[in-house]
Amino acid sequence: MLLKVRTIEEIMEKYAPATLKEDYDNVGLMVGDSDATVTKILIALDCTIDVISEAVDSGCNFILTHHPLLFVKPKTITRDTLVGRKIIELISNGINVYASHTNLDSACCGLNDIATEILGFNKYKIIQPSKNYNCSEGHSGIGRLVCLDQPIMLGKLCENVKKTFKAEAIRYVGNHNDLIKTIAIINGSGEDFFYDSIKLGADCIITGDTKYHGACDLKEEHIALIDAGHFATEWIPLQIFGEKLKKQLIQDGYDNEVIVSQISQDPYKTM
C-alpha cells in the first residue's frame, strides 16, 4: 500500500492537532505536495542543510521535524538566504518537510509527556493547559508538574537528568543536597513558564535555554533549576515519538522505513 504525504498529515493531526500549537507558532506541511508518495521518513529536530543531504543520501523524501523550517514568513526564496537555499534544495530533490512543534509538546503522549516519563515520573499534571477549549484532546498543554511522594536530592536529580537526556553537560541552580519535592518539566525552552511553575509549587524546574537573569531570580526565590539544554531535552523524546509513528504506520498497513537522523546534533560544543 502506497503511503501518501496526506496520510502522514492525517496521522499527525490526530496525534498532535494543529489547534494545540501556541499562537506564535507555525506547524504542518512546510514544503511539499500532499498528494506525493512517500518513500522513507527521516526524523530530525531541525531541517538543516546537512539533514537535507542526509535525506537525499538515505532515499528519504519526507522529513519530520520538531522545529519549523518556516517560523517567520520569508519575503523571498533565493539562494541568498539560508532558508531560501534549504527550500530550493528540498524542492529540487522532491523532499517534503512537516513540522510538529508546540502542538507536539502539548499533546497527550507528546514530548512533554515523554520527557517526564523517561525521567521516571508517571504521575503528573499540566502546568499551562491548552487555551483551545473547543478541542476534544483533553489532556494537553505545556509543561508537566510532578509531586514526589519522597523528596529527592538535587544532586541525584541532576545526575538522572544528564543520563536520561544524554546531555554532555548540564547547568543547575541550587545546592547539591537540597531536597526537591515538586518538579516542573518543560522540554526545550521553558523560561516563559517559570512563574506558572512556581505558582503551582515547583521547587525545581527542569528545562533548557535558560538565561542569566532568569536563573538569578530563581536563585533568590530558592527555586532549583536544571538546564540540560534545548537540544538534549527534545532530541531523545522526539526519537521516542519517531518509534510511535513507526508503530502507527505498521498498524495502518504501511511498511515505509522511519529513520532517525544521525546528523541532528546540538549546535553547542562543550570543553
| Residue 213 labeled ligand binder | no
**Annotated binding-site residue? 67:** yes
66 is in an annotated binding site: yes
89 labeled part of a ligand binding site:
no
Q: 201 to each of 100, 180, 187, 196, 225, how far by Cα in Å? A: 30, 11, 19, 9, 14
Give me the phi and psi of 115, to 5 degrees please: -60, -40
Any known ligand binding at 139? no
Give the residue numbers of the binding site for a divalent metal cation.
66-67, 105, 230, 234
- Annotated binding-site members: 66-67, 105, 230, 234
